[in-house]
Amino acid sequence: MNFFDEGLRLLGESNILAALACFEKAYAVEKTPKTKSYLAYCIATERGQITEAVSLCQAAIKAEPDNPEHYLNLGRVYLKAKRKDEAIAELRRGLSFGANQDIKDILEGLGLRKKPVFPFLPRNNFLNKYTGIVLARLRLRLYL
C-alpha cells in the first residue's frame, strides 16, 4: 500500500494527524494534484496553516479543474478558517463537476436551502413551493 492510500484510509478513520504524515511522505515522492489537495486539508486541520492550505488546494484545482475532491477539500479548508460563504461557493462548484456524497453531506449539515425554482418570485410563493417539492421528489433539483 502506498502512502497516499494509507493517508486516505487514516482520514476515513478520522486520524488526521497520522494521515498528515502519510500525505507529507506521498507529497515528497510525487506532487500530484490529489496529494496536494488532501495534504492541504490535513495542514489546515492539524496545523492551522490556512494560507498554505488554500494555495495548495488552488494549485490542485488549477491542475485538475474538473475533480470535485479538490473543491471538497478547499471547502473544508475554508470552513476551518470560518469563511463559510467561500466554502459554500467552492462546494457548490465541486458539485457542478459531478455528484459527490461528501460535498452533499457537508452542504446539508450546514443547513443550506436550495435556490428557489423561480428566483424572481418570493420563496413562499405557491409556484416556487410546489414546483420545488415536485422536482425534489423526482430528484431533479441540484444544489446550485
Which string of DSSP letters, residue by residue, matches the chain? --HHHHHHHHHHTT-HHHHHHHHHHHHHH---HHHHHHHHHHHHHHT--HHHHHHHHHHHHHH-TT-HHHHHHHHHHHHHTT-HHHHHHHHHHHHTTS--HHHHHHHHHTTPPPPPSSTTS-TTSHHHHHHHHHHHHTT-----
Cell triple for 57: 488546494
Rg of the chain over all Cα atoms, to the nearest angstrom: 17
Q: Which residue has the higher pLDDT, 111 or 17?
A: 17
> What does the pLDDT read at residue 116?
87
pLDDT for 112: 66
Q: Flag whether pLDDT at 137 surpasses 50.
A: yes
Statement: the pTM of the whole predicted model exceeds 0.85? no
Over residues 84-104, the mean pLDDT reads 91
User: Rounded to 5 degrees, what are φ and ψ at 56?
Assistant: -65, -45
Quick check: 59 pLDDT over 70?
A: yes
Among 80, 81, 120, 112, CA closest to 95: 112
For the chain, give the mean pLDDT.
90
Kindly indicate the confidence band of residue 144, based on its pLDDT and cuts at 50, 70 and 90: very low
All structural domains of the chain: 3-112 (1.25.40.10), 114-144 (no CATH)
Distance CA 19, CA 41 (A): 10
Reported confidence tier of residue 60, pLDDT bands at 50, 70, 90: very high
